């Protein structure tokens, strides 16, 4: 047991509370937020090294032992995602300094940004289903405020749909938790795994509960057909908020499916995981059709968020080592690259004054750094070797072949080509072609906006070129999912 596991939650939480009391002192808010972000990354790197040397780290809050008390669990999967979250959130924070605007900064932007990060990290680190719900709500309440922050007409319109969908999913979440506790008598994930794993034959009620949780997490994670609310909602807020939403929020839903469908609901995989595999394939196709159909650069990218949901969940459905490793690797890659692309799209909109592809052209003349970073990120997204997307997709293909799901592998390959088409279209139409605006006529400047983009592009390049260094960490994370007894032993101390 170590107190270190709680620090990734406490750092943004305490930062957010302090910032609430100094809403008008913007310079201090920025400095404290920056220190908090750097501290968070440092603690998480130390935590990764600790897990690598000493195994899964747990913390029993209040001294109450699981399954009766609240426990935080820092296994390799959770801490890798927490580290990625802290890296992406720091880059988006730097982008916010130059783009979010003085009016939004005065109205508690930075405190609620910290609370959003607290909810995301808490969801990754909690060891029981009920507190997963609690951290979901912390994240969602902060996101409700951020999505309407600034109060533009389009934000208010789209936020209504966003809030309504999430309230419904939260209600279903509570119902699912109640049913699960009524059937198993516990909500601790390690204890659930142990109890459900001891069942002699399939329990139909547990299969129903597993499907209910798939609906809940599918709504939050944008799984087909439950993604309908996402494209307009994520395209409405300013670029910094859209970036943190696109990079992190759907990933919490995906992580929840990943965790529960690898450790808890593994009693009827022939049914539940086949449903998941089919939905993942349809999600890929639905997402990429949306990306091709739109001319708005924000919506093209938002639909590509949905495609990535299908890729990762297909890896979960394979139940193979390669599939799990591919899903973990692709999830980390996607959090980084989607953050980078949202920020770069934001910079394009700042200078062009529009998000419509047909109204922007020739940007590379005055913004070559932005153009080539966008091209590099696009190549990483579609999986051109040796960039980061390639490693994850290669492992996902191997996992699909190992599990015999060849048709979904074919769908994934086709989808990847169409993703490339949708993103290259932005590069060719937006950066090349006739120069529409002279430098003096542009609507804004990229001053301060390129550095955060460069950080995330550099991290993405490292994930590809440095895959050999990351491979043991991903393998350790996948091992815990493939052998739930490792997780159970660490949490229940058996």
Residue 385 pLDDT class (50, 70, 90 cuts):
confident
Dist. CA 245–CA 254, nearest whole Å: 14
Q: How far is CA 297 from CA 304, 385, 423, in A?
A: 11, 25, 9
Q: Give the rounded percent of residues in the chain with a pLDDT score beyond 70.
A: 97
Q: For residue 425, give the DSSP letter.
A: H
The DSSP line for 79-148 is HHHHHHHHHHHHHHHHHHHHHS-HHHHHTTHHHHHHHHHHHHHHHHHB-BHHHHHHHHHHHHHHHHHHHH
* Least reliable range by pLDDT among 246-250, 403-407, 435-439: 435-439
When pLDDT is cut at 50, 70 and 90, the band that residue 395 belongs to is very high
Count of structural domains within the chain: 1
- Residue 180 located in a structural domain: yes
Mean pLDDT of 248-260: 90
Distance CA 421, CA 419 (A): 5
What percentage of the chain carries pLDDT values higher than 90?
Answer: 57
* Domain assignment present for 1: no
Residue 311 pLDDT level (bands cut at 50, 70, 90) = very high
| Residue 182 Rama label (left phi>0; alpha psi -120 to 50; beta) | alpha
Cα(255)–Cα(75) distance, rounded to whole angstroms?
Answer: 13
Tokens standing for residue 475: 């393998």
pLDDT for residue 475? 93
pLDDT score of 80 more than 90: yes
The pLDDT of residue 202 is above 80? no
pLDDT at residue 436 greater than cutoff 80: no
What are 120-149's pLDDT values in tens digits? 999 999 999 999 999 999 999 999 889 888
Report the greatest alpha carbon distance in the chain: 73
E-assigned strand segments in 371-486: none
- Is the pTM above the cut of 0.85? yes
In eight-state DSSP terms, residue 25 is: -
Reading the block at residue 385, the tokens are 């070797």
Q: Which of 259-263, 322-326, 434-438 has the lowest mean pLDDT?
A: 434-438
Question: In angstroms, rounded to a whole number, what is the distance separating the alpha carbons of residues 57 and 37?
Answer: 22
Q: How far apart are the first and last CA of the chain?
A: 14
Q: How many helices (H) and strands (E) does the chain have?
A: 21, 2
At residue 329, does pLDDT exceed 70?
yes
d(CA 464, CA 288): 24
pLDDT at 388: 86
Q: What is the pLDDT of residue 106?
A: 86
Quote the CA–CA distance of 474 and 458 in Å, as a whole number: 20
pLDDT at 435 over 80: no
Q: Is residue 264 part of a domain?
A: yes
Range of the domain at 253: 6-492
20 located within any domain:
yes
Q: Decide if pLDDT at 33 tops 90.
A: yes
- The radius of gyration of the chain's CA atoms, rounded to the nearest angstrom, is 21
At 72, phi and psi to the nearest 5? -100, 135
- Return the half-sphere exposure (C-beta side, CA atoms, 13 A cut-off) of residue 108: 16
Residues contacting residue 215 through CB under 8 Å, at least 6 positions apart? 169, 172, 226
- On whether the CB atoms of residues 258 and 221 are closer than 8 A, the answer is no
Residue 365 in domain? yes
The rounded mean pLDDT for the chain is: 89
């Amino acid at each position: 047991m170590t107190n270190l596991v709680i620090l990734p939650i406490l750092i943004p939480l305490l930062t957010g509370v302090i910032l609430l009391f100094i809403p008008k002192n913007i310079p201090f808010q920025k400095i404290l937020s920056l220190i908090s972000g750097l501290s968070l990354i440092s603690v998480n790197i130390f935590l990764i090294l600790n897990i690598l040397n000493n195994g899964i780290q747990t913390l029993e809050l209040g001294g109450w032992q699981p399954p009766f008390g609240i426990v935080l669990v820092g296994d390799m999967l959770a801490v890798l995602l927490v580290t990625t979250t802290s890296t992406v959130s720091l880059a988006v924070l730097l982008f916010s300094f130059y783009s979010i605007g003085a009016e939004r900064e005065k109205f508690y932007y930075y405190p609620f940004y910290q609370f959003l990060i607290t909810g995301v990290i808490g969801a990754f680190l909690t060891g029981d289903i009920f507190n997963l719900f609690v951290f979901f709500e912390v994240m969602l309440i902060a996101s409700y405020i951020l999505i309407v922050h600034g109060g533009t007409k389009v934000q208010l319109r789209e936020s209504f749909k966003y809030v309504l969908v999430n309230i419904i999913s939260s209600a279903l979440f509570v119902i699912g938790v109640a049913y699960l506790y009524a059937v198993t008598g516990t909500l601790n994930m390690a204890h659930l795994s142990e109890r459900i794993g001891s069942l002699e034959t399939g329990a139909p009620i547990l299969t129903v509960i597993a499907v209910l949780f798939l609906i809940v997490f599918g709504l939050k994670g944008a799984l087909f057909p439950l993604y309908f609310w996402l494209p307009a909602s994520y395209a409405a807020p300013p670029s910094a908020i859209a970036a943190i939403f696109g990079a992190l929020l759907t990933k919490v839903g995906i992580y929840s499916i990943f965790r529960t469908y690898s450790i808890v609901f593994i009693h009827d995989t022939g049914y539940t995981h086949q449903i998941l595999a089919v939905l993942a394939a349809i999600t890929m196709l639905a997402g990429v059709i949306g990306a091709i159909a739109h001319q708005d650069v924000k919506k093209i990218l938002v639909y590509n968020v949905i495609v990535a949901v299908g890729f990762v969940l297909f890896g979960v459905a394979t139940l193979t080592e390669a599939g799990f490793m591919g899903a973990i690797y692709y999830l980390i890659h996607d959090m980084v690259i989607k953050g980078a692309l949202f920020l770069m799209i934001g910079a394009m909109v700042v200078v062009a004054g529009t998000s419509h592809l047909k109204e922007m052209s020739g940007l590379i003349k005055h913004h070559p750094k932005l153009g080539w970073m966008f091209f590099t990120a696009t190549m990483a997204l579609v999986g051109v070797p040796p960039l980061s997307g390639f490693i994850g997709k290669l492992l996902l293909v191997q996992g699909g072949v190992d599990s015999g799901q060849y048709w979904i592998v074919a769908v994934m390959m086709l989808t990847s080509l169409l993703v490339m088409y949708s993103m290259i279209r932005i590069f060719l139409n937006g950066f090349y072609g006739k120069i529409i605006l002279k430098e003096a006529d542009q609507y804004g400047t990229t001053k301060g906006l390129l550095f955060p983009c460069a950080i995330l592009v550099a991290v993405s390049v490292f994930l590809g070129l440095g895959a050999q260094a990351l491979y043991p960490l991903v393998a350790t994370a996948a091992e815990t999912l493939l052998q739930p007894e490792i997780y159970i032993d660490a949490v229940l101390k058996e």
